Chains A and B, each alone.
Chain A
Amino acid sequence: MPKGVTVNVCMGTGGIAGGADEVLAAFREELSRNSVEGRVLEKCAVHQVGCRGFCARDVLVDITIDDERTTYQYIRPDMVKRLVSEHIIGGEPVADWMVSDEYHRFHDLQKKIVLADCGTIDPEDIEAYIDAGGYRAITEVLESRTPAEVIDEVRRSGLRGRGGAGFPTGQKWELCAANEADRRYIICNADEGDPGAFMDRSVIEGNPHSVIEGMLIGAYAVGSDSGYVYIRAEYPLAVDRLRLALDQARAKGFLGPDILNSGFSFDIKIKLGAGAFVCGEETALIASIEGERGMPRAKPPYPADKGLWGKPTIINNVETWANLPPIINNGADWYAGIGSEKSKGTKVFALTGKIRNTGLIEVPMGISLRDIIFDIGGGIEGGRLLKAVQTGGPSGGCIPQQHIDLAMDYDNLLAVGSMMGSGGMVVLDESDCMVNIARFFLEFTQAESCGKCTPCRLGTKRLLEILTRITEGEGRKGDIELLEDLAGDVRDTSLCGLGMSAPNPVLSTIRYFRHEYEAHIHDKHCPAKVCRKLLTFFIREDLCVGCGMCRKACPTGAADGKPKAPHHIDTSSCVKCGACYDVCKFKAVLKE
């Protein structure tokens, strides 16, 4: 870090939504207006940086004066003036706004490899990446290693695909390189479709060059001259930063013909996804790049044998690619020394839901769920009780509270009926209904099923209908067994991963929360008080002050009463929308 004053403002999607661009502009204005550089006789630089991880405390700002770094949280534009006058000019950090111990606890158990430079370097400046040691790995590979040596290094590191299924990366490359072909392709899967996941988006927004460098290493190893990044159009900021990074890399000679005078040529194109979850499946993704409807096909042949345009193709996801430069720089043994026996390295998770410290975390494989939730995550929001953790999105399952000491790795997650998935981790508390959660995911997979094979197209629809019936109080005796039976058939007979894993949310919630299903079906009761058709809304007269808020909010006139006198709800005209419950400031509206 050069001497002088550096201000870093977190500008990921989360930061920007929290007002980071206004904060950044305020710093630039305040520093130039007071001609601060002249007054402190130092160079002052203001940078935007990628996601810092602790999104719950956005906007996060680092002020570094001569290597002394102070981090501030919850910064708004109107606070900038004081930060500049007291800290930068006066030399006294503003203690009131500094991050608390919780910020440090959030980071203590983390180990950052992929995210190491995310949040410290400017993602829109290739020089920042190079200064942090970027493009050193590819330079070394091109100068002194054969493709076979690179593949061997990756194989020995134990790296497994971070997209969800966990296939060994080195083995995939070996298979691809062994095929006779006039052309091979490299694809980066950035079609992060799982709801509740934003790891890949954050990596591209925060450090796009690490993904490009990873792809370069892969391309050299398998002998490819052409790569694609397939990225969701729903991530406009990530797309812009990636496009800029590709242009900068080309200008610097890291992409294009004869890279670094090595004779090796490679370039990368961006393909924008058009909104289809199934395109995260590799054969569907390939069909989509080819300009077709994104429908999966049967495997084998695997893409490593016959992929894009029928040529051998390597598909890895964003996080996998970003792991490669550190593996080359530090060696396979270093990487294999981190993590658990069969899952090496670290994993990035998007920690969200009913947890205090939401954000982006990177932890060594094998860490316990307890450490993640209670140490890093700071426990459950509002002091409520933990019920379950949902991992793997619509393909995964719910891990109940009793498995909280589970060591997080690929194999353990499968054993409890969930999966790693791409790394979404949604924490659920006692106020969440597990039948409703299962219904939510089936609604998702049913809508996203491409329709090619019958078990998935019709099976998910029937599963959704049964679950909807149960949450609406129409559940019948035998529904649970019917769900289990049908879910098993969909899992066993679907063509691709989407259909095969779609029943997971149903099966895992029945396995651990059967009593909730039974309460819905037999007692017409939702224990978590979520399923509205099973609830009755009423007003406690002793708490109601007659403010009339519920009367105004009620769409049907069911909530009524005279001003300043207790109101009541007419159950026959109540549509159970919950508007009265939301607006009541006196907690006089109850649901049962």
Chain B
Amino acid sequence: MEAAFSGKLETVYRRYVDEDGNAISILQDIQAEFGYIPEEAINSIARMTGIAPSMFFGIVTFYTQFHTRPRGANIITACCGTVCHVKGAQRIISRIHDELRLKEDQDTTRDKLFTLEKVNCIGACSIAPVVVVNQKVHGRMSPEKMARELKKCRERTDA
């Protein structure tokens, strides 16, 4: 396990070793590898590159794309752009919170089945309101359609 972990980091590191200015790309690759950015990964990559861990943490916490905790098996991305907002995105998000029993400040369910994230705009405004379920864009959503999609995800994950 340990060896596999550092092996993966080593591969990422070698991809960028020749050039400056790749801290963000390194972190993006680490996240693609592990699904999130584990603290140990930052410490190891900091040792390899000779860049202070605080510098990497600074980047991770600046950009919304990076996650410092493991995420759910299903990723639900609710668009919160202007058009989705005026077409009722908030009601859909409330419904997701209810269905998944997520508290206001919680984004991943305790069983790690679902993660809810909000995105500023995915640019599919003509079919608003929009929710992305596991990278598939669903347009013209309603709270009821959303509840059905969540049920489908649950069934697929159980199967």
Pick the 5 closest A-B CB pairs, nearest first.
Answer: A198-B123, A55-B126, A195-B81, A274-B63, A195-B121
Q: Does the CB pair B130–A198 fall under 8 Å?
A: no
Task: Give A581's nearest chain B residue, CB to CB.
Answer: B91
Q: Which of A165-173, A253-261, A283-291, A328-336 is near enough to bind chain B?
A: A283-291
Q: A189-211 CB contact bits vs B (8 Å, 1 = yes)?
A: 00011111110010000000000
Which one, B59, B62, B86, contacts A354 given CB within 8 A?
Answer: B86
B158 to chain A, nearest CB (A): 25
The answer to whether the Cβ of A293 comes within 8 Å of any Cβ in the partner chain is yes
Q: Which of A124-132, A229-237, A240-248, A472-480 is near enough to bind chain B?
A: A229-237
Number of interface residues of B (CB under 8 A): 41
Q: Does the CB pair B85–A197 fall under 8 Å?
A: no
Q: Does the CB pair A291–B137 fall under 8 Å?
A: no
B10 to chain A, nearest CB (A): 20
A519 to chain B, nearest CB (A): 19
Q: Which of A10-18, A75-83, A407-415, A455-463 is near enough to bind chain B?
A: A10-18
A557 to chain B, nearest CB (A): 14
Q: Does the CB pair B63–A291 fall under 8 Å?
A: no
The answer to whether the Cβ of B80 comes within 8 Å of any Cβ in the partner chain is yes
Within 8 A of B (CB), among A149-204: 192-198, 201
A15 to chain B, nearest CB (A): 10
The answer to whether the Cβ of A440 comes within 8 Å of any Cβ in the partner chain is yes
| With A274-B66, A390-B82: A197-B123 Cβ-Cβ less than 8 Å | yes
The answer to whether the Cβ of A302 comes within 8 Å of any Cβ in the partner chain is no
Residues of A within 8 Å of B24, CB to CB, are 271-272, 274, 288, 291
A354 to chain B, nearest CB (A): 7
Q: A12-41 CB contact bits vs B (8 Å, 1 = yes)?
A: 011011100000000000000000000000
Q: Does the CB pair B82–A234 fall under 8 Å?
A: no
Q: Does the CB pair A428–B64 fall under 8 Å?
A: no
Q: Which B residues lie at the A interface, using CB under 8 A?
A: 20-25, 27-28, 58-59, 62-66, 80-83, 85-86, 91, 94, 98, 119-128, 130, 135, 137-139, 142-143
Q: How many angstroms from the CA of A289 to the CA of B59 in the assembled complex? A: 12
Which one, B28, B119, B126, contacts A359 given CB within 8 A?
Answer: B126
Q: Which A residues lie at the B interface, using CB under 8 A?
A: 13-14, 16-18, 55-56, 58, 192-198, 201, 233-236, 271-277, 288-294, 309, 350, 352-354, 358-360, 390, 393, 424, 426, 428, 432, 437, 440-441, 444, 448, 450, 555, 577-579, 582
| With A236-B135, A272-B28: A55-B127 Cβ-Cβ less than 8 Å | yes
For chains A and B in complex, what number of residue pairs have CB atoms within 8 angstroms?
137
A584 to chain B, nearest CB (A): 13
By secondary structure, the A interface counts as mixed
Which one, A275, A393, A448, contacts B82 given CB within 8 A?
Answer: A393
9 contacts between A and B (CB under 8 A): A196-B125, A198-B123, A236-B135, A271-B24, A275-B63, A276-B64, A288-B24, A352-B128, A440-B82
Q: Does the CB pair A17–B123 fall under 8 Å?
A: no
Residues of A within 8 Å of B135, CB to CB, are 236
Q: Does the CB pair B28–A13 fall under 8 Å?
A: no
Q: Does the CB pair A276–B82 fall under 8 Å?
A: no
Q: Does the CB pair A201–B62 fall under 8 Å?
A: no
| With A17-B130, A291-B21, A294-B62: A196-B83 Cβ-Cβ less than 8 Å | yes
Residues of B within 8 Å of A195, CB to CB, are 80-83, 85, 120-121
Q: How many angstroms from the CA of A290 to the CA of B80 in the assembled complex? A: 29
Q: Does the CB pair A291–B22 fall under 8 Å?
A: yes
Task: Give A577's nearest chain B residue, CB to CB.
Answer: B94
| With A16-B137, A198-B124: A290-B86 Cβ-Cβ less than 8 Å | no
Q: How many angstroms from the CA of A276 to the CA of B122 in the assembled complex? A: 13
Q: Does the CB pair A13–B23 fall under 8 Å?
A: no
Q: A274-B24, A275-B64, A277-B120 given; name 10 further pairs at CB < 8 Å.
A: A14-B139, A55-B126, A55-B127, A193-B121, A235-B123, A350-B126, A390-B82, A437-B86, A440-B85, A577-B94
